[in-house]
Amino acid sequence: MRTTSTRQQPEPGGYEIRTHGHLDARWRAYFDGLVLTSDVDGTTVIHGPALDQAALYAVLIKLRDLGLPLLSVTRIPDETGQDENPPR
């Protein structure tokens, strides 16, 4: 079971970040309006529309500054099934 601040599934394109611990909706502003989804397994998924690589690094730095353990970073393909930001 998931609880979400705005929607259930991440937008296509960009990244989905999973961290240990729950962050409630009040942290949304700190993460620049990204969606925070708390899972019953004690993790939080952070995602948003077209989270690009620069925004990804900013989120990772914020998680580090909060001392939250990073569990995974997953690239979400865009609607065509292609990576929006292919590796260089």
Q: What is the pLDDT of residues 42-68, one digit of tens each?
A: 999 998 876 778 888 999 999 999 999
Higher pLDDT, 19 or 3: 19
C-alpha to C-alpha distance for 7 and 81, rounded to whole angstroms: 21
Rounded mean pLDDT of 18-38?
91
4 pLDDT exceeds 50?
no
Per-residue DSSP letter, 27: G
In three-state secondary structure terms, 30 is coil
pTM exceeds 0.75 for this model: no
Q: Residues 13-26: what's their mean pLDDT?
A: 88
Domain boundaries, the chain: 2-75
Is 61 buried (19+), middle (13-18) or exposed (0-12) by CB count in 10 A? exposed
| Percentage of the chain lying above the pLDDT 70 cut | 73
Q: What is the mean pLDDT of the chain?
A: 80
Q: How far is Cα 55 from Cα 43, in angstroms, rounded to an integer?
A: 20
As a whole number, mean pLDDT of residues 12-24 equals 86
What are the angstrom distances between the C-alpha of 42 and each of 11, 48, 49? 22, 20, 24
Strand partners, 39: 2
